[in-house]
């Protein structure tokens, strides 16, 4: 059975919308890795201890499960870093590209949680097209 890995913020506002999105859109079981502002960590600090920890956890989960999708989630105000739409979108897209480069067999998606509490896919990589930015954040 196929599974999904979700790399999400520890902020509770982002948890349920992302879980609901994965269940609705992909209908698979999932594992969650949490970190403060993971899109920023993976995009801007990808040599940090936090980024290495995230990547090691992803690798371990892929090794031991049938992972088809990796999702990285972000939301406005994430750790007080992500306030502008352009900055958030850039970080999320860069983090998706970074993870996709390391895990080319899995589809990698970027999820944005709006202020109204809804999650949407805004970018992806490693499917039919190498990189697929969608509508902005």
The pLDDT value recorded for residue 137 is: 58
Q: What is the mean pLDDT of residues 126-136?
A: 56
Domain count of the chain?
1
Indicate the pTM of the whole model. 0.88
Q: How many CB atoms lie within 10 A of CB 83?
A: 10
Closest CA to 13 of 118, 126, 123: 118
The pLDDT value recorded for residue 83 is: 58
Closest CA to 2 of 105, 135, 132: 105
Q: Which domain holds residue 44?
A: 3-133
Which CATH number is 57's domain given?
Answer: 3.40.1050.10
């Amino acid at each position: 059975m196929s599974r999904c890995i979700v790399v999400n913020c520890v902020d509770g506002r982002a948890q349920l919308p992302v879980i609901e999105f994965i269940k609705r859109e992909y209908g698979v079981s999932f594992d969650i890795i949490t970190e403060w502002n993971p899109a920023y960590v993976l995009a801007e600090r990808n040599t940090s201890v936090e980024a290495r920890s995230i990547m090691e956890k992803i690798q371990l989960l892929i090794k031991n499960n049938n992972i088809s999708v990796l999702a990285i989630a972000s939301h406005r105000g994430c750790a007080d870093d992500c306030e502008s739409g352009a900055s958030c979108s850039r970080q999320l897209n860069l983090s998706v590209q970074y993870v996709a480069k390391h895990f080319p067999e899995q589809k990698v998606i970027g999820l944005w949680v709006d202020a109204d509490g809804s999650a949407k896919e805004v970018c992806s990589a490693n499917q039919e097209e190498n990189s697929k930015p969608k509508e902005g954040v």
